[in-house]
Every structure is written in structure tokens, then in C-alpha cells.
Amino acid sequence: MNWGSPEFVILIVAISTGGWVINNWIRARHGYPLEDEWGGKTALGDDKASKALIAENVELRSQLAEVGERLQVLERIATDSSVGVAAQIEALRDEPRITAKLEREVR
């Protein structure tokens, strides 16, 4: 093997780069600060900010689920026959009255 050949230099560079990538992958996986190109460390994300983002994500997912449920209802209304939809709407209008009546009877 010729120690001064371009292939050997490329091999050394590839091994060094691969080691750097593997090192940063292990650090990221275990929560340690990452090393940048100049040997400095990047700070970990703010724990308080990350918790706020997680809480916001949970809230947005619940809102998305509600929107999905509403969309299903609208799709059903658009595809069902008008007689069935009218009966369901009337049943929904009567439901609060029935619930209020039942609550008064329980008291």
C-alpha cells in the first residue's frame, strides 16, 4: 500500500468523518450535548420550552381529533338522505330538553 496515495488520504478522511458521525449519533441518543464542526458543544434544548411544546402538541392533537370528528359528521350529512338527516337533527334538538327534564326529576 502506498501511504501517500490519494486513496489512502480519502480513506483516512472517511474514517474520521464516520467516527465523528457515530460519536454525535451516540451523544444525541443519550442526551449529551453535540459537537459542532469546530469542536465546540451545542447547548441542549431548553427543557421548559420543550415541555411547553409538548403540551401545545397534545392540545393541537386533541383539537385535530375534534375537527376530524366534525368532518365525519359533515361527510355523513352530505352523503345521507335528507329525511334521515332531518330526523337526526330533530332528535338532537329534543335531547337537551329531555336531559333537563330528567335532571329535574332526579332532584
Per-residue pLDDT for 66 more than 90?
yes
User: Mean pLDDT over all residues of the chain?
Assistant: 81
| Average pLDDT score over residue span 4-16 | 90
pTM: 0.38
| Average pLDDT score over residue span 54-81 | 90
| Average pLDDT score over residue span 41-47 | 69
Per-residue pLDDT for 65 more than 80?
yes
Per-residue pLDDT for 98 more than 70?
no
> What Å distances lie between residue 63 and 44, 57, 93, CA to CA?
30, 10, 25
CA atoms of 85 and 75, how far apart (whole Å): 12
